[in-house]
Amino acid sequence: MSNALGNHILVEFMGCDPHIMNDVSSIERDMVGAAQKAGATVINSTFHHFSPYGVSGVVVIQESHLAIHTWPEYGYAAVDLFTCGEMDAWISFDYLKECFGAKQYSALEMKRGAIQLLTRTDFDLSSMREKATEWRNPEMYTRNVWFTDKDEDQALSLRFTGEVFYDVQSPFQRVRIMESYKYGKMLALDDMVMTTEKDEFHYHEMISHPAMFTHGNAKNILVIGGGDGGTVREILRHEGVEKVTMVEIDDEVIKSCKEFLPNIAAAFDNPKLELLVDDGIAFAKNAAPETYDIIIVDGSDPVGPAEGLFSVSFYQNCYNALKPGGILIAQGESPKFNEKAFSELNFTLRGIFGQENAPVSLFFVPTYPTGMWSFQYGLKDSDHPKKIKNVEEIDAFVEAKGLRYYNSDVHTGSFATPNFVKALLK
């Protein structure tokens, strides 16, 4: 009989593959695998990714727990293998060493709960038996793997199943399609949620229809970004549209969404669409003056390849490429999450289009940090989108197309500006 309740191995894994150390999904799989390899019964797993670097997680096993904290930038993982009973945690150690590609390692083994120091008091176990039987079923363990989109101070976390359908580092960004429990499959670029199966309609209906109905007769439309295809799908619902040119810089976004998010990437075969895999910033610079009725900038957040989509020169080029009466609409960030980017973009648009010609529309996306998001407009002598004349036409369209977010009330209401937003825009 052992003279201790448990055995604790404190492990230092060094020189590990930094990409693995930053990949919450594969770390969860490896930690659960390490437990199972050693014959443990897994009860549940909880893993979180921290932006930009690091993963923490625990696998609770009937024989105690396995825990990890990683520092990808140092290729380092601190791992605890705490076991009791007959389980040999060194089997888990060997398994993880291989999975993480650790070049160096050290381990400190210590006994926990020295019997000589403890006094035993037995409980009445009869009421606990049913629960204990459940725990013994290894197929029933719960996984808690969390994807977190965050800045330094706040975050949005989605629990995902751990399934990763697509994971490619393109020349521009890491493109992933993962599965979340609540919102279905999700496109993430680097560590930011772009769209999900279950709430994509909020964003895609609101980036498209308010501008289309404000204009009233848009025929030639330019979409910059929007590689998932949701924006062009909505624009092409309008029968009067003659041509949509879409310029997406990253082919991996298009490929991944065509394969795994076909309901969003649903209009790529439409003959009115010209799809260019190219730099949208350069495209706008070279565009012929007064060409487009509407320009839509469906870009990512202002880091990485989308940074230039927030610059003065880019919006000046868009202004030039719009016809008189044309409308620009841009992904405008959040007044509660990226206050600086939100207000700077509005300042830029007011400087180019005029003080009264850069209204902001607010809408709700449950899978973006804070949930409150915006589109920002540049009106080149067009009507103000708040003053809609075609309510019946809008509502008939909404009904016919089965829209789930946009309607004429939402159209007008989205241009109402809360006081704290007004203050940000001063």
Nearer to ligand SPD, 26 or 195 (CB): 195
Cβ of residue 50: shortest distance to ligand SPD, in angstroms?
A: 17
User: Under the criterion CB under 6 A, does residue 226 sit at the interface with ligand SPD?
Assistant: yes
Tell me if residue 365 falls in helix, strand or coil. Answer: coil
- Among the listed ranges 6-14, 35-43, 228-236, 317-325, the one in contact with ligand SPD (CB under 6 A) is 228-236
Q: Amino acid letter at 109?
A: E
Give CA–CA dist 388/51, Å, rounded. Answer: 42
Q: What stretch of H or E contains 168?
A: strand 155-169
| Least CB distance to ligand SPD at residue 194 (A) | 4
Q: By CB under 6 A, what part of segment 124-163 binds ligand SPD?
A: none
Quick check: 28 binds ligand SPD (CB under 6 A)?
Answer: no
Q: 323: helix, coil or strand?
A: strand
Q: Which of residues 190-219 bind ligand SPD (CB under 6 A)?
A: 192, 194-195, 203
Q: Which residues are catalytic?
A: 298
For the CB of residue 377, give the shortest distance to ligand SPD in the complex, in Å.
16
Q: How far apart are CA 254 and CA 228, in angstroms?
A: 6
Cβ-based nearer residue to ligand SPD, 316 or 370: 370
Q: Which of these, 103, 91, 90, 83, lies nearest to 21 by C-alpha position? A: 103
Alpha helices, DSSP H, located in 174-225: 200-215
Q: Is 301 in the site for ligand SPD (CB under 6 A)?
A: yes
What value does the CA radius of gyration of the chain take, rounded to a whole number of Å? 27
Cα(367)–Cα(365) distance, integer angstroms: 6
Residue 298 touching ligand SPD (CB under 6 A): yes
> Which residues does 383 contact at the CB level (< 8 Å), separation at least 6?
214
Report the distance separating Cα 388 and Cα 304, nearest Å. Answer: 37
Binding mask 354-393 for ligand SPD (x = CB under 6 A): --------------x-------------------------
Q: Closest approach of Cβ 373 to ligand SPD, in Å?
A: 7
Q: Applying CB under 6 A, which residues contact ligand SPD?
A: 192, 194-195, 203, 226, 228, 230-231, 298, 300-301, 331, 368
